[in-house]
Structure 1
Amino acid sequence: MDLQTFAVQLLNGVQYGLVLFLVASGLTLIFGILGVINLAHGAFYMLGAYLAYWLTAATGSFWLALAGGVAIAFCLGLALEQLLVRRLYGRDHLTQVLMSYGLILVIDEARQILFGKDVHSVAAPALLAGGIRLTDLQTYPVYRLAVCIFCLLVAVGVFLLIHRTRIGMIVRAGAENREMTRALGIPFDTVNRTVFAAGIALAALAGLVVAPISTVFPGMGDGMLILSFVVVVLGGIGSVAGAAIGALLVGLTDTFGKVFFPSLSSMLIYVVMALVLIWRPTGILGRREA
């Protein structure tokens, strides 16, 4: 493998890992902080991609679709937390799994009614069309590079929000000791609703930015859901920074695994997860049990 090909694969791995982080960071917020197992998280990733297709066709602007899709997903998250998810707090995991699985079926049925079973494509914005020439025969798409930068900025923003703001302090305190935080008078109903909606919006945002790279098709969130749980476990449940490390590790492992070990690429991610958990059973940045 020459240097240019290695650089392209490295960029692909980083881009994939950063998109995966958007989904997994939302999942780790919901799972690690609210204590809710949300199997429907991948469905919201798919929903984001379909929103990109629909809103781009309706408005003629990918940028309006991006902003509108995130706003719709956030409002949907607020409504779902108010109507359904708040009933899952403190309940057993089987109840959470059944509720979220039912939500998958509802979202999939709504997708079929609204968009059918066809595969759709979304054009990248004209500003980011074309590619950067690496060699005489090889170019790298500008949009993929823009996705890397955008996702990195979002990751930094999420990290700063969690670790440098009062809202983030409340969220972290609730993750550490929920009952003590509630006893101090923190309005956890509002915090829970906002955290859940933000997690859904991050998953949809990942689908929105991926839509011009990948086709939009039914069930596209299934594989992303599995990988997101792998990232959450790798990084440590409830750790956003751990999710970032885990997502990049999964992205690079998957990308280079398909290049060097194509026949084993489907299992390499799980081998890496097993090795990490042998080393640190609570994940890379997970809290050790006392």
Structure 2
Amino acid sequence: MTTTPVPSLSLPGGVEIPQVGLGVFQVPDDGTQANVEQALELGYRHVDTAAAYYNEAGVGAALRASGLPREDVFVTTKLRNGDQGFEQALRAFDDSRRALGVDQVDLYLIHWPVPGKDLYVETWRAFEKLLAEGAVRAIGVSNFLVEHLDRLVAETDVVPAVNQMEVHPTFQQVEVQQRCRELGIAVEAYSPLGRGGDLDAPAVVAAAVDLGVTPAQVVLRWALQQGRVVIPKSLSAERQASNLDVFSFALSPQQVASIDALEAGVEGRTGADPATASFTQFRD
């Protein structure tokens, strides 16, 4: 267990989001409870799930089994693409809240913009309703590009608190991050290790050797020093603990710059392109 407290970033409305969380993407529901319980025992206080992961019930079971006060664990879930639209989004949120077994969700995200369906503005208005009613503490988006963010800001009332997006050394989405900063939107990095693909980069390995830490710790620290939230996924207790133990050292400006230089543009992307992604996220 880390001895250094995990700092938080401030979101609108006085909401504090721990800067390191546990992602449960692709964790089977029957293994999610044990995985999340393990993380909570190690000191994690932030768990990120989604309706599309089909493991919200496992997250909820872990919350109850942990014995921790509900307010001590920050819980994020996301709306499935196929549930976009005003009324459908409200129904889907109720399904997620029941699966999690919570009265209030800390952060609710539109998982993808799905611009081809042109429903994300209508969906966002449902999110604004949930926020106004107190069903959620903060609302945000995931995988939104500059044009999607700008349209939301122009056509709705509430600026997203968070944009959860793929960010790692070889795929930094610099323009999207810059627009988020301009709008006051926190950037939350998923796949922060590039699905492991960035850990062998010479700049990362050199920094790890110099600091006496692991390459994964170097990459996570790089993201944290630049003000992002990170949600690495791991089933291993050892790696979960290591991913949380990233606050007792710091990268030098030169080390940060050398990792920044790994940017490869779209060649570094490991996930789908938000400009064209249109999958429903329903199981077949």
Larger Rg: 1
> After TM superposition, is the score higher than 0.5?
no
TM-score, scaled to structure 2: 0.26
TM-score, scaled to structure 1: 0.26
Q: Which one has more relative contact order, counting CA pairs under 8 Å at least 6 apart? A: 1
Q: Which has the higher helix share?
A: 1
